[in-house]
Chain A
Amino acid sequence: MILSFIGVVLLIVGAVCDIFGAIGMHRFGNFYLRLHAATVGTVGGKFYPFLGAGLIALDRGLLPVAGVAFLSAFTLLITTSVGSHALAYAAERAGVVKIEHNELGGDWDD
């Protein structure tokens, strides 16, 4: 009972994060900002719901479903950051977005 309640709360939080991420994919202007929105929609909107679905399955006695859910959540937590870094690196190499001002490196005139 308490596991199902926690799982439903995680699923609702994840749905809110997922919808915000989906809106951000359309509102943000360039690729790097969309990468941020996709990360919100992936970690907040998929990792927590996977845990929530696993908890609900655990409460109902569906042990294979719970195992798949927890394994997927763990895999997602690792692979999302790796994939995001790979995509950002490829975008920088391909010159998708022109950086106008480098905040960390100082002015271009220096």
Chain B
Amino acid sequence: MFEHTIPVLIALYGIAGVVYFIRVLLGPTVLDSILAGDCVSLDVALIALLVAVYYENNLLAGGAFFLVLWAFVLDVFASKYLVKGEVGV
């Protein structure tokens, strides 16, 4: 019943990801780019999960969890090196 809804939702999340990615490129500071990069990676994870649901393939969903973890690791390590002063803003 919802076969046509999932591609539309994938397109919406893709548009939001593209808008976030513009902020990755434009970000005045490194922190803005990191913040937008988190949102982009989580968007990609969600799109991968929706593609897995749409094609009913279990293997496609495996990468989503690692993308979620990647966003967290990116936050924590970037903050660590910014606080220590090893990387400039």
Give chain A's interface residues, CB within 8 Å of chain B.
Answer: 1, 4, 8, 11-12, 15, 18-19, 21-23, 25-26, 31, 34-35, 38, 41-42, 45-46, 49-50, 53, 56-57, 60, 62, 64-65, 68-69, 71-72, 75-76, 79-80, 82-84, 86-87, 89-91, 93-96
Count class of interface residues, chain B = 35 or more
Inter-subunit contact A82/B16 (CB<8 Å)? no
A87, B23: Cα distance in complex, Å: 16
The complex places the Cα of A75 from the Cα of B28 at a distance, in Å, of 29
Q: Give the one of A22, A53, A69 with max B CB within 10 A.
A: A22
Let me know if A93 and B23 touch, CB within 8 A. no
**Are A79 and B68 neighbours in the complex by a CB distance under 8 Å?**
yes
Closest 8 CB pairs of A and B: A83-B75, A79-B72, A90-B79, A86-B79, A22-B19, A90-B82, A64-B58, A15-B12
